[in-house]
Structure 1
Amino acid sequence: MFLKFAVLFLLLGRSVASQQDDLGFTYNGFGGVDLSLDGLAQITNNGLLMLVNNTMQQKGHAFYPHPLQFMNSSTGTVFSFSTTFVFAMYSEFTTVGGPAMAFVIAPSTDFSSALPSIYLGLFNKTNLGNSSNHLIAIEMDCVQNLDFNDIDGNHVGIDINDLKSVESAPASYFSDQENRYVNLTLFSGHALQLWVEYSGEQRQLNVTLAPIEVPKPKIPLLSLNIDLSPIILDPMFVGFSSTTAVIKAPHYVLGWSFKMNGQAKALSLSQLPKLPRTGPKTQSKIFNIGFPVIGVSLVLISIFLIQFIVARKKKFADVHEDWEFEYGPQRFKYKDLYIATRGFNEKELLGIGGFGKVYRGVLPNSNEEVAVKRVSHDSRQGVREFIAEIVSIGKLQHRNIVTLLGYCRRKGELLLVYDFMPNGSLDKFLFDDESTNQTKLNWNQRFQIIKGVASALLYLHEEWEQVVVHRDVKSSNVMLDGDLNGRLGDFGLARLYDHGGNPKTTNVVGTFGYIAPELARTGKAKPSVDVFAFGVFLLEVACGRRPVDQSFQASSEEECIVLVEWVISSLNKGAILETVDPKLEMNYEVEEMELVLKLGLLCSQSIPTARPCMRQVVRYLGGETPLPELPSLSRSVFVNSEGTGNVSIWFPYHHGRSAMTPQSSVADSLLSGGR
């Protein structure tokens, strides 16, 4: 009997080892790759993994999304593993770089409590050196910090649960041809390749560095005898961490290969994406013109230059008050935006909305593609408060939120600068039938967009340092990036007119059809008003119709249809799927579609407290929590705007009547007895 158990135990151990032998991945670029990203980390349009950009005092993480088993349960030792990746680190200066980036092995991908800058996005002041961290990092550090015993400002180190490296060396590689170590500059912007290899049998960790055009050197840069079994806390995650400080220093990963119990597959260097072109900032042509040294010519050219400079400054004059200097990088120069948009050329016009025109632009210094929104604002009342809010909103970092990069003020207008979204807004995909070249969104893409917007609203309501109410959630404010991921945009514009007191608007900001009844009554915006608008948005995406649709007749007696009422009517008839967008041609998951339609009704109730919060919504969409059953619904007349009498759903306008007059709608709370 003992022999049988011994044989069985041995077979199980071999099975685990066999599974680990098959565990590996190779990414020659990251286009379409599923990674767990947070902070500034994103995948660029050409497939680069950009860990951090030029935003100050932020962090970025990118991890393989699935946990890995590093421990051999039969022997209690760590499996051998190998990884290699190509990376590039930039700096706006030639003599000093920014904070480090690191390859990381960690028990979790949650580094929300970690600090940026010198803490590498992995630690904070309280957990440095704690054995409970169970964290291994290979750092490529461009800053010398004496508190962490750094050897210089350009080194590679092995970190175990701490930022004091247990082994480090100046950035260099061993040249097999020259038989010596050759120095490298980590922050040069040139692509470098790094190998990390651990032998479970020899308990040895090797780190090797080389330029991308040089084959792997025979002698590693770092070699450390260490047993990793006390540090590994299965399962573990592998990935990258990076941060920013006060220097513009973006970090990129071009390709990545990993293998458990084997040699990582070599990267195909010819298939790696191209790095962005960078270089020292160029001075104005004016200052590159050589002045003649002969008397009269010098005087004449000097006069001409003075006149030219004065005229140019007048043309590109900004409104810049003393209190704005504290906002630093968030303040763009009008000249740069003028050049980026080719003088706000109509050929660069992306769209026209209620708040102004939006132009595509390419920033002259960085070649970064942006969207520039021109917003008229003649009143000086509240401008300082609004700018403070814009800068605060610019700190929002979420993969499903369009990043507000900054602003510019000039005369009677504000210019807001956003990340460029190449696929425009979602409403064009849902409603624009005239564009024959428009990509059609299938159901899976729509469902992913819905979940992305829900995740963004949860971040705004509960997960950021302040509670942010968007107040204008709708399909035209959901932008699509190059991979058709939904990203919520247009923050703060409604607030502008709160501060400025534009006489053409009321205090109730938002878009008719999406405005919650309590917002229309009181003008007070709470997270529940976003939930109401999100409910209407869900029906909009699923049905392919606007909240109040005049494109078809619901009956011979009506000139248009109110979307929520139409869906409720179909639900009561047991035919809710008849409301699905016909452009989907019946190609959708029935369970997901019913979930979205019913959740849309659940969110768009008249009673704020009856609506789910966004965390509940995310759980419903993720299948973590079943949606409550909806009772049968009946139509009733709205009694008064204060909510007395029968409970009803509010619609801001109905065909042919006053825009702010409540009309016939649906009675009874959708959650009565269901929650």
Structure 2
Amino acid sequence: MAGGAAALIFGTGSIWFILRRKRKKANQVDGNIFDGEFQNGMGPRKFSLAQIAKVTTNFKGEKLGVGGFGAVFRGYLRDLDTDVAVKRISKASKQGIKEYASEVKIISRLRHKNLVKLIGKSLLNWDVRFKIVHGLASALFYLHEEGDHCILHRDIKASNIMLDSGFNAKLGDFGLARLVDHAKGSQTTHLAGTMGYMAPECVLSGKASKEADVYSFGVVALEIACGRRSIEPTYEESRASLVAWVWDLFGNRQLLGAADPKLSIDFDAKEMECLLIVGLWCVHPDPKSRPSIRKTIQVLNFEAPLPKLPSARPTPTYGVPVGCGIQASDPCFSTPTITIPR
């Protein structure tokens, strides 16, 4: 867990510095943004800009990605001998300090081997891919079922999953996450998420739920199995939508034709079939027909039978309201138009 904790505290370090810089302009926000957690020693550790700049080569080293808050850089924490991910807020950030603080406060509560970002690079073989799906499912089960509160992630997508040196999946980016009571399991809030991964009912209602997280998990599972993104506008129309394409292959009894061609035939056919069917189950248009993450894990472990799915993808009955602007791979907040991701 050293790497996970380090990734968190360095992300927090950049937040703390930015809050200090903005104190003169927004003291009323800075004063209570972490509810005194820094002051009483219960929250994440503070780092100076000089310390953070040192481990990231003054933010000129490897850039791991760019999100709604800004860029994420790779760093190295010498005293723990571990790589870390450092998130830095940009001036053009589409999200605010409160959302960033929410991410830090939620991550501070978490202790699980498959949570918080790390990095790994390679063309992944089948065993590693199946392991990643299991790791992501385990992380989601912890968020939904094992804590004092249910945590709805609300932005599960491929770019929020990174790998450590052992190819263990790490789910990160909790900027949109919400705490809810286990008995409730959902929360009505402003629309947030990433197109291509958002459950259809969320686009209509903005309601965050376990079922919506499961839908996003299903999209990622299909991406891992098929080796392509959820939306590919350059593909022919019948293949542009990953979910629709895989469901068509399933209905035509050609499901294994969805397998990533880069794998050639070097995969376990039973596991591939299982993953593809579980992915379709999770992205069922009707949230009541989706499995819980607990049931998903049981099927992935071959502890429960595969579900029986309709041969044709059920038609979604949810409309898309005017008033949500979404860019490819960016979090969604209410603005005038909808844009299909790249």
The TM-score normalised by the length of structure 2 is: 0.75
Q: CA offset at residue 610 of structure 1?
A: 1.1
Q: Could you list the per-position Cα deviations for residues 484-505 of structure 1 after superposition, in whole angstroms to 9, with x for gaps in the alignment?
A: 11111111x2359xxxxxxxxx
Which residue number corresponds to residue 337 of structure 1?
52
Matched position secondary structure for 2:109: coil
Which one of the candidate residues 78, 84, 88 is aligned to 1:374?
88
Which residue number corresponds to residue 153 of structure 1?
none
Q: CA offset at residue 360 of structure 1?
A: 1.8
Counterparts of 2:177 and 2:90 in 1: how far apart (Å)?
Answer: 14
Counterparts of 2:91 and 2:309 in 1: how far apart (Å)?
Answer: 45
Which residue number corresponds to residue 484 of structure 1?
167
Alpha carbons of structure 1 residues 607 and 336: separation in structure 2 relative to 1, 3 Å: same
Counterparts of 1:317 and 1:548 in 2: how far apart (Å)?
Answer: 40
Q: List aligned pairs for 1:341-490, cutoff 5 A.
A: 341-344=56-59, 346-363=60-77, 368-376=82-90, 383=97, 387=101, 390-402=104-116, 421-423=118-120, 439-490=122-173
- Which amino acid letter does the alignment assign opposite residue 586 of structure 1? I
Structure 1 or 2: more strand by fraction: 1
Matched position secondary structure for 1:358: strand
Q: Could you list the per-position Cα deviations for residues 533-579 of structure 1 after superposition, in whole angstroms to 9, with x for gaps in the alignment?
A: 11111111111111111343255xxxx61111111111111111111
Q: List aligned pairs for 1:100-115, cutoff 5 A.
A: none
Which residue number corresponds to residue 9 of structure 2?
none
Counterparts of 1:608 and 1:634 in 2: how far apart (Å)?
Answer: 14
Matched position secondary structure for 2:207: coil
Counterparts of 1:368 and 1:639 in 2: how far apart (Å)?
Answer: 48
Which residue number corresponds to residue 520 of structure 1?
203
Structure 1 or 2: more helix by fraction: 2
What runs of 5+ residues in structure 1 fail to find an aligned partner?
Answer: 1-39, 45-51, 55-312, 403-417, 425-438, 497-505, 643-651, 662-675
Contact 1:532-1:603 at 8 Å conserved across structures: yes
Matched position secondary structure for 1:545: coil
Which residue number corresponds to residue 302 of structure 2?
623
Matched position secondary structure for 2:150: coil
Counterparts of 2:68 and 2:85 in 1: how far apart (Å)?
Answer: 16
Alpha carbons of structure 1 residues 632 and 366: separation in structure 2 relative to 1, 3 Å: closer
Q: List aligned pairs for 1:559-598, cutoff 5 A.
A: 561-598=240-277
Alpha carbons of structure 1 residues 369 and 634: separation in structure 2 relative to 1, 3 Å: closer
Counterparts of 2:105 and 2:303 in 1: how far apart (Å)?
Answer: 36
Higher relative contact order (CA 8 A, sep 6+): 2
Counterparts of 2:150 and 2:126 in 1: how far apart (Å)?
Answer: 31
- Which amino acid letter does the alignment assign opposite residue 208 of structure 2? A
Q: How many residues are treated as equivalent by the alignment? A: 293
Alpha carbons of structure 1 residues 350 and 526: separation in structure 2 relative to 1, 3 Å: same
What runs of 5+ residues in structure 2 fail to find an aligned partner?
Answer: 7-16, 24-29, 179-188, 321-325, 328-336
Counterparts of 2:143 and 2:5 in 1: how far apart (Å)?
Answer: 22
CA RMSD of aligned residues (A): 3.5
Counterparts of 2:259 and 2:147 in 1: how far apart (Å)?
Answer: 35
Which residue number corresponds to residue 319 of structure 2?
641
Q: CA offset at residue 517 of structure 1?
A: 1.4
Counterparts of 1:354 and 1:515 in 2: how far apart (Å)?
Answer: 16
Which residue number corresponds to residue 31 of structure 2?
321
Which residue number corresponds to residue 286 of structure 1?
none
- Which amino acid letter does the alignment assign opposite residue 251 of structure 2? N
Answering whether residue 242 of structure 2 is matched by residue 600 of structure 1, we say: no
- Which amino acid letter does the alignment assign opposite residue 266 of structure 2? N
Contact 2:72-2:88 at 8 Å conserved across structures: yes
Q: Could you list the per-position Cα deviations for residues 383-402 of structure 1 after superposition, in whole angstroms to 9, with x for gaps in the alignment?
A: 56863652232221111112
Counterparts of 2:72 and 2:290 in 1: how far apart (Å)?
Answer: 34
Alpha carbons of structure 1 residues 342 and 484: separation in structure 2 relative to 1, 3 Å: same
Alpha carbons of structure 1 residues 460 and 328: separation in structure 2 relative to 1, 3 Å: closer
Q: CA offset at residue 446 of structure 1?
A: 0.5
Matched position secondary structure for 1:513: coil
Counterparts of 1:440 and 1:471 in 2: how far apart (Å)?
Answer: 27
Counterparts of 2:318 and 2:67 in 1: how far apart (Å)?
Answer: 33
Alpha carbons of structure 1 residues 377 and 620: separation in structure 2 relative to 1, 3 Å: farther
Q: Could you list the per-position Cα deviations for residues 76-106 of structure 1 after superposition, in whole angstroms to 9, with x for gaps in the alignment?
A: xxxxxxxxxxxxxxxxxxxxxxxxxxxxxxx
Counterparts of 1:519 and 1:625 in 2: how far apart (Å)?
Answer: 29
Q: CA offset at residue 378 of structure 1?
A: 8.8
Contact 1:400-1:488 at 8 Å conserved across structures: yes
Which residue number corresponds to residue 289 of structure 1?
none
Contact 1:360-1:369 at 8 Å conserved across structures: yes
- Which amino acid letter does the alignment assign opposite residue 471 of structure 1? R
Counterparts of 1:317 and 1:537 in 2: how far apart (Å)?
Answer: 38
